Each structure stands twice: as structure tokens, then as C-alpha cells.
Amino acid sequence: MTEENEQNLEPASAPAIPGEDVVAPEDGEDSDADLKHFQWRVTKNLTRRIDQYLVDRVGYLSRAGVQRLVGEGLVKVNGRVVKSSYHPRNGDIVEMVAPPEPISELVPEDIPLDIIYEDEHFLALNKQANLMVHPARGVWTGTLVNGLVFYGQRWSGVNGNWRPGILHRLDRNTTGVMLVAKSDEAHWRIARQFENRTIQKTYIAIVHGVPQLLGDVIDMPIGRDRYIREKQAVRKEAAGVKPAVSKYEVIEQLRG
């Protein structure tokens, strides 16, 4: 029997099997990010790459999902970040931080919606601060989408079951107007306006400090932050950046 054939695909907290032992299972949740911590000890040289090894150990993760975790530095061997092509060896301690197993369906929740306009095609609402738009990475409840499902309307399905009606996003801590489509046709029509940049967005913000200019145009491309992947940042020469043009005007200066 080959090494590959004698591997049983069991949960990460399963008893030791030939070639890999679980070390003091750390599959508890991280209190800050709602993540799960896994740890294994490898007791023989394996022919599988580490991405396939982890898929076999944690059944709800896809290979592409594991590779994303590897790319984000959330998979380590003996305390060091490795590549997806690494082959685990005898004595290795493999650690991974991953989101918990997703729930199977959206949970309707009575989350207050500040609706400012609604017709048969879409609604516009003012998203409050400290509210995620849709479930992601271990946060399956308490989002705007959970509130929309509770609201009871039929939303567009263009973006899949986990983002019904969602046309665009706002950061968790950002408040502002969001549009939600009620049909696929409305979704495509509004999305095309976003794509063609015929929709104008205006924000009123209170900022710290006084700009040198009372009005200006900021034309700088943005992309994923180099260090914090959940954030966007100005990236002049990075791959995958998108053009971004912002016009600002100081309308009032406050004391204190």
C-alpha cells in the first residue's frame, strides 16, 4: 500500500493516522477575527504538496482557498511561511489559520434598515457604520445581507446566494448610501452605469486637520494594501490596480 492510499481523510481534530499526528488540537476560534487555528505534526515524508495535504485534512476548504491562505502567510511549517508547492517532511509542525466552516444558508436577522428610497426595481439605504455588507471569512451573521433577507423582498441573484441584490460595497466602518437591486435586469442596468462611471458618488466627511488646498482633484490608482489585505491603498506600480479619481471641496472648518 502506498503512502497516498493509506491516508484517511478525517477532520483536523481526528486521532493520529500514519504519517501525521494532531498536536494538541488548536481548532478553537480566535476571539479577534473569528478564525480557527489548526496544527499537525508530520511523522513521515509525504509525496503530496502542502496545499493538497491541507485540503485533505480540512474538508470544507477548496484547494484554491488553501492557496489563498498560503499566499496570505496563514500557513506555516516550523514557524515559517511556505509556498503551496512545499512537501511536508517527517518532523514538520504544520500550522494554519483559516475561517471556520461556513453555514449552509443565510440567516434572516431583524437588522434596522435606514431606507431612503424604494420602488419596484431597487432600494437605496443608508448603511450604518460597523456593519459588514455581506457574510465573508467566518462572519456569517450580523451583516446587511442578513437584514435584507429578513426584510422579505426578492433580490437579484446575479452575485450569488450570499450577496443577494448587492451592487457595490462599503467598508464595514463606513456609512453611506447603497443601492440594492430587486431583479436581475435592474442589477445589470445599474451595474452597467457603475461600470461606465455614469453614477456620481458624493460624500460628506468630517476629517482631522486642515487641507492645504480648499479643493483639489486626486487622481491616483488604488489596489490591495501591501500589508493589510483587507484594505485598499494607493498603489502606483502594483499589479491589478484600478483608476480612482476623487474631487474634494472644503465646505466648512470647525474649531477644536
Catalytic residue check, 171:
yes
Q: Which class for 242: exposed (0-12), middle (13-18), buried (19 or more C-beta within 10 A)? A: exposed
8-state DSSP, 195: H
Burial 150-184 (b: 16+ CB within 10 A, else e): ebeeebbebbeeebbbbbeebeeeeebebbbbbbe
Pick the closest to residue 131 from 102, 163, 169 (CA basis). 169
Question: Active site residue: 27, 56, 171, 225, which one?
Answer: 171
Q: What does the alpha-carbon distance between residue 138 and residue 147 come to, in Å, rounded to a whole number?
A: 17
Angle, alpha carbons 7-11-15 (nearest 5°): 70
CA angle 197, 121, 136 (to 5 degrees): 70
C-alpha cell at 59: 474538508
Which residues form the catalytic set? 171
